[in-house]
Amino acid sequence: MILTNLQALATLLDDPDYNWKTIIIGFATAQFAFENYLTVRQLGVLTKDQPPQTLRADISQETFEKSQAYSRAKAKFSIFNSVYSYIQNYLFITYNAMPVMWFFSGELLRALSPVLPASFSGEISQSVVFFTVFSIFGSVVSLPLSYFQNFVLEEKYGFNKLTVGLWLSDAVKGLALSFVLGSPLLAGFLKIIQYFGDRFIFYVWVFIFVVQVVMIAIYPTVIQPMFNKLTPLAPGALKDSIEKLALKNKFPLSKLYVIDGSKRSSHSNAYFYGMPWSKQIVIFDTLIETSTVSETTAVLAHEIGHWALSHTTQMLVIAQLHLLFMLTLFSIFIHNQSLYVSFGFLSQTPILIGFLLFNDILQPLDCVISFLMNVLSRKNEYEADAYAVKLDYATDLARALIKLQIENLSSMEADWLYSAYHYSHPLLSERLKAIGYVAKEKVKKEE
């Protein structure tokens, strides 16, 4: 019944009268206008000259003004970035750059055929070449914005630690990693669809899930060391405190690392990853430098709260359901001739191209899903904070959050609609209120 309904819907949408190019440009324009409208609203909030009442005892006027200036600069940059991306996307669609790039990939594949294995031919091989060309093109056109963000905006406010050499090295490594890992995965994805035909949904879903599990397993030993150095946390008070916390909460801690985040930025963070039976905690060196042992432990108590309350499992299940839903919708468009024709593919219907175009169609739905996921994420953040509070880390967590706010110059206020759409974490003032933190008035220094 479901398959019959999907086939009927696919037939309905495969109508020559549908101009999918106009529809997708319309979706992109609506999203562009709405998101910039939200940013303009946020800019209004960022002109305030006094911190929220709940933060005035802990945030100096100088820090607040610097935070507001930094947030305004990021907001203005986001508008410029969105205009740049919109124009690029509009031109790319209007002038049929995708079929040109697909044709070029085919010609490049034929030119290289004398030095390539005989089996490296056909749609899958051309898709791998297209994927590589498309990735290089995307990286090149984004370089000016990336340079400005790191070496102008972040540099101005003291966050950038990158050198031009390291920045370029990261870009090259990212492209190389994308090719080395992405090419065989793309080939596997396309091969499954070719082999199973319209029954591909379940098999692709399982394939992607297995890939995700493998990536979790190899990330700390294969991928992460390409960009950052992970060093075992040295014995001492902090290590003892974290191990005691993990033992008390039956957290399956296997390794404790310090990452050289200061190599690229002075922003602070901490996170954990790994399989259900073996977790690794990673702490940014910048967090250790700016926080006490109890404050750093409080941050990790919050992170362990996510694990103890099954937030990580919850998000994994939701991600898999979303993936299954997306693949089901893709099955409706995979043979849609009108979609391919609208974008200049008159005789060929490459699966990869169909998937890319389908993702453009899916943008409005993705925005709604992203909004709902942010709502859920904020709920989970409150619950993880509450978990840390139950472990008697209320004051330490509050102080750690305040320090992180100051060190990262994070926005201290936000327009309610902007916050609802963009933020996955509550504002600091909201989190402190939920924790029950009451700031002590600053005492006068002894004369």
Q: Which residues are catalytic?
A: 303, 385
Q: How many residues does the chain have?
A: 447
CA distances from 320 to 177, 242, 317, 331 (A): 24, 31, 5, 17
The string of DSSP letters for 3-19 reads HHHHHHHHHHH--TT--
Cβ-contact 365, 357 below 8 angstroms: no
Distance CA 24, CA 96 (A): 13
Binding-site annotation: residue ranges for Zn(2+): 302, 306, 381
Q: What is the dihedral of CA 281, 284, 290, 294, to 10 degrees?
A: 0
Distance CA 240, CA 255 (A): 13
297 CB burial (10 A radius; 0-12, 13-18, 19+): buried
Binding-site annotation: residue ranges: 302, 306, 381
Where does 219-274 have alpha helices with state H? 237-248
The secondary structure element, H or E, covering residue 270 is strand 270-275
At 280, phi and psi to the nearest 5? -115, 135
379-416 b/e with 16+ CB inside 10 Å = b?
ebbebbbbbbbebebbebbbbbbbbbbbbbbbbbbbbe
At 36, phi and psi to the nearest 5? -75, -30
- Closest by Cα among 149, 143, 145, 144 to 172: 143
Cβ-contact 264, 292 below 8 angstroms: no
**Which are the contacts of 172, defined by CB distance < 8 A and separation ≥ 6?**
none
Per DSSP, the three-state class of 373 is: helix
Instruction: Write the Ramachandran bin of 231: left for phi over 0, alpha for psi from -120 to 50, otherwise beta.
Output: beta
